Structures are given as structure tokens and as C-alpha cells.
Amino acid sequence: MNGRGRIIFHIDMNSFYASVEQAYHPELKGKPVAIAGNPSERKGILVTCSYEARAKGIFTTMAVWEAKRQCPNLIVLPPNFERYRHASKAMFDILRSYTDLVEPVSIDEGYVDVTEIAHGIEAIQLAKMIQTRILHELDLPCSIGIAPNKFLAKTASDMKKPMGITILRKRDVEKMLWHLPVIEMHGVGSSTSNKLKEIGIATIGDLARSEDYLLKANLGKNGLRLKNRAQGIDQREVDPNSIYDTKSVGHSMTFPSDLMILSELQTAIEELCMRVAKRLDAKKLAGHTVSILFRDADWHNYTRSKTSQNAIFKKKDIEVIALSLIEKHWNGNPVRLLGVTVSNVVDQSDTVEQLSLFTYEKYAKEEPIRKVVEELQYKFGKDMITKGIKHAKKPTYESKTSFSKDFLDDHRERG
């Protein structure tokens, strides 16, 4: 693959949480290991499991009690988040020892653009070198996909696990991917897959050969984007600065027993909104869209959202929308999981409140003061007077969006 086009690696750590535990506790190697949020309660769902556990029919999202019944000698451990963050940082440090063009996308995976450093060395040799270093220095297995773009690299890394290295060229897409069901394509979830099936698209090949107008009419711009991916086309760059892009802040809870009545859901929504508001405030963010997610006892997920004209971050504002959504869309079925997310976020200092009949009077009263402030800022500089005092908040639990995203803070601190 040298000499022409880009060379992108996708590094995917294998059974990351379980592998880290086996690295710290060698006596666990070769044994079925699983990580669960709370092994003692019903809400204990497996976050990940070792390949030894998978060989016995254990899989991620399985309930602890079910997994124990399937595999009585399964070793179930609680998560050690700081340990996983430390291992993740060490892994990305190894990647950055080769190039700065490293883009973390989650705690256990990332892209590396090796185009410039792969000259004079075969890409597969470089991949083996990286894979061996991660294994020998951290005692952690990984799979690596090699391709001319991010989509194909991600697809390739999934093809052989654990400890696989797979090359996927654009010219191989038709032979290797087009016969697969469209649900197996990276970026296509069950909802999108169902929409595609409704218009006669069942395989990745069907998607690649489909008409643009049909995709745009049913899926918008995302339909055209998916068609390009199905054809092996992906122009996205490996962007190390993407770690600074926070797109949403949310929180969810799985309940020990199903919620059956509206008042219970409302109480849970209020708690979730409080947590989301604290995190938004800690991150100095506000968002336009509020979404709720609820999962029923049969594991069916429902997501509903509403977009506000003004960017919001206060608990009461988030709560008004979230409560209206649950009251309107809850179908009465028992709820085992509930979540609230604020997305389309911007910096709080960049928010502009749209004038309304209710806010106009407030602005009218402030106008004389505003003019004086503007005159002083013009004369002495904008930093002379600011509205309120901005304190740089220390990182706290409230500032965290979710553990899978919090690891990005480790990469931001490098600068």
C-alpha cells in the first residue's frame, strides 16, 4: 500500500476492560472473565467479557444472572475505571511515539495516519511492530485495520479478532463487503437498517448501487454518506483535534426494578436532569436539543427529542422539555432504563438568547447599563469589564459526560 494514497490504521483493543484486568492479575489469564457495573443486582449488565468467556456463549449486554447460568465458573468483576484510563493513555502514548496524527475515538480505539512514516517500510510490518509493542509493553492484545480511509480501516479491524491485522483496499470492497447484510456495515444501526429494508436495500451492495434520490428522500444527507462508504469512499481526515469536540452531555440510569407509573418516571427524569445540568455547567456548555431514551422490559429502546430556540443548560429548562417528552411519548410499558441527553452543544459564552415577549422587558431595563459598559470596553479594552466572573472550574464528577468520553480529558491535558 506504499506510494499511493493515504495509509490509515484503526487500532482496536480486544476485550479491553477484561484484558486490562488479566494484565493486572495474571492468574485470570485463560479464564472466562467479565466486567459488570453491579454484579449483585439485576441491573448488573456485562460491559465486556474475555474471549475465553465468549467461547462459552457469553456476550456483552448479557445480564449477570444469565451469564452465570450459562457459565457457572465465570469470573465477574466490577469496573476499575482509573485502571482502564491509565492503560488507554499508555496505549495512545505508544501510537504517538510514531506520529502525532493520532485520533482517539473511544477509550479503546483510535485512528492513526501513517502515510508519511510508511515510506520505506511496509504498512503491515509497521502494524506488526505497533501490535507487538502494545502486547509486550502493556500485555494487551489489539487488532489493526489497514486501509486508504477511516471507514475501511475500521471495517478491517473488525474482521479478525483477537490480535488480527487486516488490509482492506478499495478495490476489495465489492468482493469482501457487498454480499453482507447492511446491518453489518459500520455506521448502520437497527433503525437505519429497517429504513433501508423498507426501500428494498438489504445488503451493502444494494446500498452501493442505490439511487441517490431514493436515499436522500428517505435518509437525507446521511443516506448519500452511507452510499459513499458502501463504495469504499471516505474523505475524512485523521484529526487529532477532534478530542476537543463535545457534541452532547447525557446521563442514564438502569433501575433495580422496572418503573411502572408516571410519577416514578418523573422523579427519575428530575434526577437525570440535575446531573446533566451539573455537567453542562462544569463544562461551560449549553445545548439546543434535549433527548430522552427509555428502554422497556423487552429491551426495546425508544428515543424522542425536542429542539429549543435558545441553548439551555439549567436544570429547570432541561426538565421542562424532558418531562414533556416522557409524558407525551411513554406508552405505559415498564421501563428498566431511562436517559436524558442535551446535544448540539455550544460554549455558554457563545449563546445568544432570542428576544421574546418575556425577555424583551429584561433587556430594555439593562440597555442603559449595557451602553455604559460598551463605552468603557471601547476605551479601555473588552476585558476591562465582563458580565460576571469566569472561574476555571476544577474537574469534578459533574464535569464528566460519560466514562467512555471522559478518557479524552487525558489527551487534552497533553497540550
pLDDT tens track for 179-233: 999 999 998 988 889 999 999 999 999 999 999 999 999 988 889 999 999 999 9
What single-letter amino acid sits at 123? A
Strand partners, 251: 340
Quick one: pLDDT at residue 136?
98
pLDDT higher than 80, residue 85: yes
Quick one: pLDDT at residue 5?
85
Quick one: pLDDT at residue 378?
55
Q: What is the CA radius of gyration of the chain?
A: 24
* Cβ–Cβ under 8 Å, residues 208 and 230: yes
Catalytic residue among 109, 137, 198, 211: 109
Which residue, 142, 124, 172, is CA-closest to 19?
142
pLDDT higher than 50, residue 387: no
Q: Is 109 a catalytic residue?
A: yes
CATH class of the domain at 246-354+391-412:
alpha beta
Quick one: pLDDT at residue 95?
97
- Tens-place pLDDT, residues 114-144: 998 876 568 999 999 999 999 999 999 999 9
Contacts of residues 221-224 at CB distance under 8 Å and 24 or more positions apart, as own/partner, are 222/192
State the chain's mean pLDDT as an integer.
85
- Per-residue DSSP letter, 394: P
Contacts of residues 387-390 at CB distance under 8 Å and 24 or more positions apart, as own/partner, are 390/349
Quick one: pLDDT at residue 374?
55
Q: How far apart are CA 144 and CA 160, in angstroms?
A: 9
pLDDT higher than 70, residue 19: yes
Q: How far apart are CA 178 and CA 32, in angstroms?
A: 35
Quick one: pLDDT at residue 390?
44
Quick one: pLDDT at residue 44?
73
Look at the block and give the residue holding cell 429584561. Answer: 362
Total residues belonging to the chain? 415
pLDDT higher than 50, residue 358: no
The Cβ-side half-sphere exposure at 382, using a 13 Å CA radius, reads 0
Region 156-161: mean pLDDT is: 96
Q: Report the CATH fold assignment for 1-168.
A: Alpha-Beta Plaits (3.30.70)
- Angstrom CA distances, 395 to 172, 177, 413, stand at 46, 44, 12
Q: How far apart are CA 303 and CA 262, in angstroms?
A: 17
Contacts of residues 116-119 at CB distance under 8 Å and 24 or more positions apart, as own/partner, are 118/1, 118/2, 118/7, 119/2, 119/3
Q: Tell me if 12 is assigned to a ligand binding site.
A: yes
Look at the block and give the residue holding cell 493513555. Answer: 89
Lowest mean pLDDT among 136-140, 170-174, 300-304, 384-388: 384-388
Which of 3.30.460.10, 1.10.530.10, 1.10.150.20, 3.40.50.620 would CATH assign to domain 173-230? 1.10.150.20
**pLDDT grade, residue 100 (50/70/90)?**
very high
DSSP-based helix, strand, coil % in the chain, nearest 5: 45, 20, 35
- Return the number of other C-beta atoms located less than 10 Å from residue 231's C-beta: 18
Quick one: pLDDT at residue 388?
45
Q: How far apart are CA 257 and CA 200, in angstroms?
A: 40
* Cβ–Cβ under 8 Å, residues 99 and 8: no
Quick one: pLDDT at residue 307?
87
**pLDDT grade, residue 360 (50/70/90)?**
very low
Sequence spans of domains, the chain? 1-168, 173-230, 246-354+391-412
pTM above 0.95, yes or no: no
Q: Tell me if 406 is assigned to a ligand binding site.
A: no
What single-letter amino acid sits at 188? V
**pLDDT grade, residue 283 (50/70/90)?**
confident
Quick one: pLDDT at residue 391?
44
Strand partners, 294: 302, 338
